[in-house]
Structure 1
Amino acid sequence: MMSWIKKLETNTPNVWVQWVRAYILRGVNFWDFCLTAAHSWFWSNIINCRDALIQIADTIDHAKNLLCKPDYKQQIYELLRQKGSVLPMYKTVGDSLNYPKHKIIGLLAIQNKLPTLDNLSRRGLQLANKCVLCESHSECAPHLFFECFFSAVVWCTVAQWLAVPPLTSMNAISMWYKGHNRGKSLVKRQRRCLLLCSIYQIWNERNRSVFKGVKTPPASLIWKIQYLVTLRLSHIVE
């Protein structure tokens, strides 16, 4: 849409531009034009984009100046997009030692964006909210990953391997990453891989229980986590 606005602003010798000026604008300045119900969906979107551009640029003159720059699309995009705070774990989660799917689920879990039953209910889906791993509590990210008996057993073993106190929340994991687990040494990379693998396997076990009705004992899941991390390390060492 911004490219069409630029063509109108610079009066590009284009059939569409000339048609718009003759039959829609009819002598009215593009930046002052007001929509009516009779205008098309396409033209409405152009005017809405114009208004959004004026809003982020603060003034019409600044908006015009942006459109005159060669990289106007990039500059407008940078103004439009919302920049959130960088996750403390972002760079370490991206370590090549970590399994790709573990990285994705790990980041979603940290931000509480996984489709747990409480998140689904907030989106309007009416579902019976009960944790499928313990069947004694409603499902939410804090319970599923830390408060549930099943997960607590897994994290207790993982904490012993890492020689750290029990990890009881995503925030605790995030802060541990930030304060004690940065670096490129193989030991620290192994710890990061172990944490992400644990998060992923708990989530995967939840999905197996929901969609397949299959339940795995905590001991079997712990063995699988240890096996996957060892397998990943064997490729690095070789």
Structure 2
Amino acid sequence: MERFNKALMAKWIWRFLTEKDSLWARVVRACKGEMNWDEGGFRIDGHRDMRAGWWKKVLSSIVNEGKPDGWKWKATPNGIFMSKGLDFKRIWKAPTAHKAKTTAWRIMNGKMATVDNLLKRKVPFPNSEHICALCQVPPENTNHLFFSCQKSAEIWYELLSWFGKQSVLQSNAIDQYLAFTNIGHKKDAHFLVGVWICTVWSIWKERNELRFNNGKWDKGKMVADIKSRLWSWKQAYNMNTAPDDFRSWFIAVRLENSASNSDTGMLPSHVS
């Protein structure tokens, strides 16, 4: 979690230095003053920041003298991000329904039949239907529908609260997948990948229900459905699970994982 927080700090400080004309950067400068980098570290209105030494180490690892600044994806030889550079094995091996895994893969690759993708394929849509089916705000695209939408965010936060975790929601599939599935220890990852898959699949099902069947948004029911699907998939993959264990499993996930902020950070063995 410490490394993840530092990575987020580095991301935002980099954006602050490179997106000086953006609205949020102007607001920060108006409230906190100008921030600059020199040999001595970060300075805010001429005063050296107490974390300057750490930031210097961060920037020294990403700034190449004589070369244009940019991002490099370590999973590919040329440094350019490609979805195949992401380890999809954990998704395909997750204890979830195959159709849910397929949906997750399509989300990762931007292949969902959202309004923006359908418009790219020349599928006609009246302007009134360009809105997100969940929050009724345009436009509907993959990143908004699953991660930036206010309604979707409510679901993610409810699930984080369920197993006693905190995380910053990311605005795209790759970042949110990596952030969400790494909020626990390595032994938690198998369970968290399953939760991530189940959540995006459930959001897609809810989207279709609202758009095509005039359904009504019900956050409580949707969170309950996600937990119920996780349990049913667990039973399908683990024949030793007794049908009446749902309540104890539900409480164990919530309570024992809440204690994962301690030394072990382990999900109960019968969950993962």
Same fold (TM over 0.5): yes
Q: How does 1:47-126 map to 2 (within 5 A)?
A: 86-126=84-124
Instruction: Tell me, in whole angstroms, the C-alpha distance in 2 between the residues paired with 1:177 and 1:87.
Output: 18
Larger Rg computed on CA atoms: 1
Corresponding position of 1:209? 210
Change (3 A) 1:180 1:212: same
Provide the identity percentage: 22
Partner of 1:3: none
Contact 1:156/1:166 (8 A) holds in 2: no
Moved over 3 A (4+): 176-183
Which of 152, 167, 173 is the equivalent residue of 1:165?
A: 167
Cα offsets for 1:70-129 (capped at 9, x unmatched): xxxxxxxxxxxxxx6525241001115121111000010111110100111111122131
Query: How many residues get paired?
Result: 153
**TM-score computed with the length of structure 1 as normaliser:** 0.57
Gaps in structure 2 of 5+ consecutive residues: 1-81, 242-272
Deviation at 1:143, TM superposition (A): 1.0
State the partner residue of 2:224.
223
Residue 153 (1) aligns with residue 151 (2): no
Distance in 1, matches of 2:153 and 2:94, equals 28
Distance 1:221 1:120 in 2: 26
Q: Determine the C-alpha separation between the residues in 2 that align with 1:86 and 1:182.
A: 24
What code does the residue aligned with 2:178 have?
M
Post-superposition offset of 1:200:
0.2
| TM-score (ref. length: structure 2) | 0.51
Q: Which is further off, 208-217 or 166-175?
A: 166-175
C-alpha contact 1:197 1:225 (8 A) present in aligned 2: yes
SS in 1 for 2:123: coil
Rounded Cα–Cα distance in structure 2 between residues aligned with 1:146 and 1:195: 11
**CA 1:87–1:176 in structure 2 vs 1: closer, same or farther (change >3 Å)?**
farther
Task: Give the number of the structure whose residues are more often helix, by fraction.
Answer: 1
